[in-house]
Chains A and B, each alone.
Chain A
Amino acid sequence: MKNIHNHPNYWAFIMHRLSGLALAAFLPVHLYVLGLALADSSAFDDFISWSNTPLLKFLETGLVVFLSAHLTGGVRLLALEFLEWRDWQNSMVALSCGISICAGLVFFLNAT
Chain B
Amino acid sequence: MSNDLINVSIWRGGEDGEYQTYQVPRLESQTVLDVVTYIQRELDPSLSYRFACRVGVCGSCAMTVNGKARWTCRTHVSKVAEGGQLTLDPLNSMPRVKDLVVDMETFFNKWADAKGSFKGDKTRDDALAYISPDDPKRKISSAGIECIGCGACYATCDVIKWNPDYLGPAALNRAWTLVNDERDVTGLERLAAVAGDNGCLGCHSQQGCVERCPKSLNPTGAIAGLKRETIKAVLKGELS
Contacts and interface: CB of A to CB of B under 8 A. Distances in A.
B13 interface: no
B228 A82 contact: yes
A7 B209 CA distance: 11
B68 A2 contact: yes
B40 interface: no
B174 interface: no
A10 B67 contact: no
Interface string B162-189: 0000000000000000000000000000
B145 to A, nearest CB: 16
Interface in B199-240: 204-208, 210-212, 218, 220-221, 224-225, 227-228
A81 to B, nearest CB: 5
Interface string B140-172: 000000000000000010000000000000000
B127 to A, nearest CB: 31
A10 B209 CA distance: 11
Contacts of A13: 204-206
B82 interface: yes
A72 to B, nearest CB: 15
Given A7-B207, A13-B206, A81 B227 contact: yes
Interface residues of A, number: 13
Which of B67, B212, B221, B225 has the largest number of chain A CB atoms within 10 A?
B221
Given A4-B211, A9-B206, A10-B206, A85 B67 contact: no
Nearest to B231: A82
Counting contact residues on chain B (CB < 8 A from A), the size range is: 20 to 34
A42 interface: no
A3 B224 contact: no
Contacts of A7: 207-208, 211
A77 B156 CA distance: 20
A111 interface: no
Contacts of A77: 205
A2 B66 contact: yes
Contacts of A80: 205, 220, 224
Contacts of B206: 9-10, 13
Given A2-B82, A85-B218, A10 B207 contact: yes
A5 B205 contact: no
Contacts of B207: 7, 9-10
B7 to A, nearest CB: 16
A57 to B, nearest CB: 34
A91 B111 CA distance: 32
A69 to B, nearest CB: 16
15 contacts: A2-B66, A2-B82, A4-B68, A4-B69, A7-B207, A9-B205, A9-B206, A9-B207, A9-B210, A10-B206, A10-B207, A81-B224, A82-B224, A85-B221, A85-B225
Given A7-B208, A10-B208, A85-B224, 12 more contacts: A2-B66, A4-B68, A4-B69, A5-B208, A7-B207, A9-B207, A9-B211, A13-B205, A13-B206, A81-B224, A81-B227, A81-B228
State the 6 A-B residue pairs at the shortest beta-carbon distance, nearest first: A85-B221, A9-B207, A81-B224, A13-B206, A7-B211, A10-B206
Interface of A: 2-5, 7, 9-10, 13, 77, 80-82, 85
